[in-house]
Structure formats: structure tokens, C-alpha cells
Amino acid sequence: MPIFTADLPLSLYIHLPWCVRKCPYCDFNSHEVKDNLPETLYLEALLQELDDHLPLVANRPLISIFFGGGTPSLFSAQAIEQILNGVKQRLLLTPRIEITLEANPGTIDQMRFQAYRQAGINRLSLGVQSFQDNQLQTLGRIHDRTLAIKAIDIAKQAGFTNFNIDLMYGLPKQSLDQALEDIHTALSFQPTHLSWYQLTIEPNTLFYHQRPTLPSDDLCWEMQLAGQAVIQQYGLQQYEVSAYSLVEKQCVHNQNYWEFGDYLGIGAGAHSKITDMKTNKVTRFSQIKHPHAYLHATKRQIQNKKCVEKNDLIFEFMLNALRLHHGVSYALFTQRTGIALKDIQPLLNTAKQRGLLLDHPTYLRSTALGKRFLNNLMEMFLPPSGGS
Ligand SMILES: C[S@@+](CC[C@H](N)C(=O)[O-])C[C@H]1O[C@@H](n2cnc3c(N)ncnc32)[C@H](O)[C@@H]1O
Ligand code: SF4
């Protein structure tokens, strides 16, 4: 019989799907804003959708709210405030809740950042990507280096002490020195958090069809090792594949995903994972993907609703938890999946024998080899062919 904890943490993700321009590497559910941003219509739709989901999460306080995109910073502070007020009227918030908003440096000004803070945003995530103008141009960004630096400055002036910078490496024709210079520049602004992603070429993007020349795998590996050493010099610790933070400044919201907590996603294409506290069943579902269809649906039917079966739960847990640099306790595996540890012991033993998992009695953690070959390690937990 599953044995979930009664206090399974719950996060809220709010998807705001519009951008000024679509970046050629981006496969997120983001769409160029054509005319006016339908702010009011969209926020009404979000709150209606939240009403529909309330029975699923009644009496469970939120530990985090994340406005992701798209480019949430296209929305006015008044709209963000109205959404947050609507959430507060419907759900309980934990006292130290983390409320993050993703901002694109090409869409900000001082007044707007101050107003976001007054609206209740207490963490910013700035999509900088690189501080080199030629790279920013290749990446199709709407901002240059100067604007990126200005955005960071005004975020700090507006009182955002807790902020993240998104950077990417392995960029077209990038050298090792250029990648490291980007990290030095980012960390000179003393962010509490750095997300440092290797650029991946995703299907359905312009880069997939017009592939730029990327650094070799060996060079990217070199960048990763050298970059991690630089980040450490600045006092940030790696806690996930691409995430680094100061002590106790990990992103609560993302950490909850990786620790297999629950989350409700609202907005076009948003995904949810909710555990029914009475039956202990884990359900996943998503929302209508295209913003236009989402806005104009008479009834916002959730899609792809699926109860996650045992074998899939094991794989999904591993897919998330093994991303965490220090892993998780084995106790968390049972708490979050309801599956006894003995059921996966043979798989764990094989992974340990191959040197991919640490041989530790209470902690599930990948070794250095496991981190290098993370996909192989995760695949060991794939359900038997055909799934469950
Ligand atoms: C959902 S995006 C939102 C950020 C915001 N829209 C922006 O671009 O400024 C979050 C981050 O994912 C990263 N990202 C997006 N596409 C990527 C790709 N193909 N490869 C690696 N990282 C990517 C970027 O660093 C980006 O800032
Ligand atoms: S601004 Fe962000 S979400 Fe929008 S297209 Fe670019 S990377 Fe994607």
C-alpha cells in the first residue's frame, strides 16, 4: 500500500506564452505577439482555469509560484498583481513562498521592475544567454550586452536581492574563453543563482533546419568542466545538472519538480502532476497548447489526463531526482512514489555495480561517472518495453 506523506509540497506554474520574437533555438510553447497582448482576457482565463482545478488541490498550501514563458515580463505589473491576487483568493500560500517571474532584458524598465516587486514577485529570472553581442545576434535575442547589464542593474536597484541569470554555452562557434568570460561577467553581478545550459538543437526550431556550427562535444565537455570550476570560485554550488546557487538560494520551485513534489500548471500548454491524497494516485494532465485556442475555448478541457502507473512512476522519479547533484534520500523515493525500495533493489544493484550510482545505504546519488552518462543511468529505470 502506498505511503505518501500528508504534506507533499505543492507548486503553481503559470504559463504566459507570448514573446516579442521567437528565438531560433527555442522549442518552448512561446509565440510571437502579433498585435496587442490580450492581457485581461488571458488573466481571466487563467483564474477560471484555476477555479476548475481547485477541488484537486483544496487545502494544500503553495510553496512556490513561477511565472514562466514565453516572456512573462511582457505582462504589466498590474496584470501580474491581478493574477497573484486571484491566486491568493483561491489558495493558501506558505509564509515564505518563493514567487519567481522570468524576464527578458529586452522588455524591462525601472518602473516595471519596482512594480513587479510591489505586486509580490520576490525572485527574478533574467534570460541573458550571453554577454557577447555577436552571440546575442546569432541567437536572435531582442537585447544586446548593454541592455542585459542594464536589466541586471535595475533589477538590483528595484530591490531584487534574489535573482537568477540564465546563460547558455556551446553556442555557435563559441571558444572556451568566450564561454568562461560569459560566466565571469554574469557572476560579477553577484546573482544568487545561475542556470547554465548547454545549447541543444531541438526539432521544430529554426536551428534544427538551419543548423549552426557548434563547438565539438569534446570542447563542450571542456567548457563544462572549466565553467564549473569558475562558478565554484564565486561561491555558488552546483545542485542540479544546470543549476548553481549560493547556500540556501536554490530555486524552490524547480527543486520541487526534481524532488517529485506536486505542481499545478495553468495557462496554455501547462502541465500538472497531482497526487490524490485520498487514493494516493498520481495523475498528469496538460492544458490546450495554442494560446489562441486556450483563450477562446468555451470549456477549457484538460488534455492527456493519465494516471501514472507503477513502472512509469519509478522512471519519472529517477528522471528528476538523479538530476540533483547530491541526490535524494531513498526514503523520499518511497514517500513520493508509494513504492517500496525492495521493488527496485535489483536495478539499484546493477547501477551500483556499473559504477553509476553511489553505494550508500540511505542516499540515492549518481557517481561522477553516472553524472557523465546520466542518460544511460536514467534509461536503466525505463519501464519494460511498451511501458506499464
Ligand atoms: C523558458 S526559457 C524562458 C526565458 C525567457 N523567455 C528568455 O528567453 O529570456 C528558459 C531558459 O531556457 C534556456 N533555453 C531555451 N532554449 C534552450 C535550448 N535550446 N538549449 C539550451 N537552453 C535553452 C534559456 O537559457 C532560457 O533563458
Ligand atoms: S524569449 Fe525565451 S521563450 Fe521566447 S522565444 Fe526566446 S527563448 Fe523562447
Domain harbouring 107, CATH code: 3.20.20.70
User: Has residue 298 been placed in a domain?
Assistant: no
What's residue 122's pLDDT? 98
The reported pLDDT for the residue numbered 198 is 98
Closest CA relative to residue 189, chosen from 253, 250, 100, 128: 128
Q: What is the pLDDT of residue 384?
A: 83
Residue whose entry in the numeric block shows the C-alpha cell 562558478: 231
The residue whose CA has the least distance to atom 6 of ligand 2 is 23
Q: Are residues 105 and 243 in the same domain?
A: yes
* Ligand positioned closest to the Cα atom of 128: 1
Kindly give the number of the ligand 2 atom that is closest to the alpha carbon of 26.
8
- CA–CA dist 300, 325 (Å, integer): 38
Residues 141, 129 contacting (CB under 8 angstroms): yes
* pLDDT value of position 4: 54
> What's the grid cell of residue 185?
561577467
Q: Is 37 helix (H, G, I), strand (E, B) or coil?
A: coil
Q: Rounded to whole angstroms, how far apart are CA atoms 378 and 346?
A: 15
Q: In this structure, what DSSP letter does residue 221 have?
A: H
Q: Could you tell me if 44 and 179 lie in one domain?
A: yes
At which of 241, 256, 271 does a domain end?
256
| The three cell numbers locating residue 3 | 505511503
| Beta-carbon contacts of residue 24 (< 8 Å; ≥ 6 apart) | 139, 140, 205, 206, 207, 210
- Domain membership of residue 16 (yes or no) is yes
Domain end marker among 228, 256, 284: 256
Range(s) of the domain holding residue 351: 329-380
- Compute, in angstroms, the gap from residue 74 CA to the centroid of ligand 2: 12
Separation in Å, CA 182 to CA 142, 167, 218: 18, 8, 19
Instruction: Compute the distance between CA of residue 279 and CA of residue 308 in angstroms, rounded to an integer.
Output: 13
Query: Which helix or strand (DSSP H or E) is residue 69 part of?
Result: strand 62-69
Ligand 2 in reach of 22 Cβ (< 6 A)? yes
Ligand nearest to the CA of 30: 2
Q: What is the pLDDT of residue 294?
A: 95
Is 84:120 a contact under the CB 8 Å cutoff? yes
* pLDDT at residue number 1: 42
What's the pLDDT score for residue 282? 94
Q: Residue 196 in 3-state DSSP?
A: strand
d(CA 359, CA 353): 9
pTM as predicted:
0.96
Residues with pLDDT less than 70, the chain: 1-6, 301, 386-388
Any residues with Cβ below 6 Å from ligand 1, and which?
25-26, 28, 68-69, 71, 102, 104, 127, 129, 166, 168, 197, 199-200, 202
Residue nearest to atom 20 of ligand 1 (CA): 199
What ligand has the least distance to the C-alpha of 19? 2
| Residue 2, in any domain of the structure | no
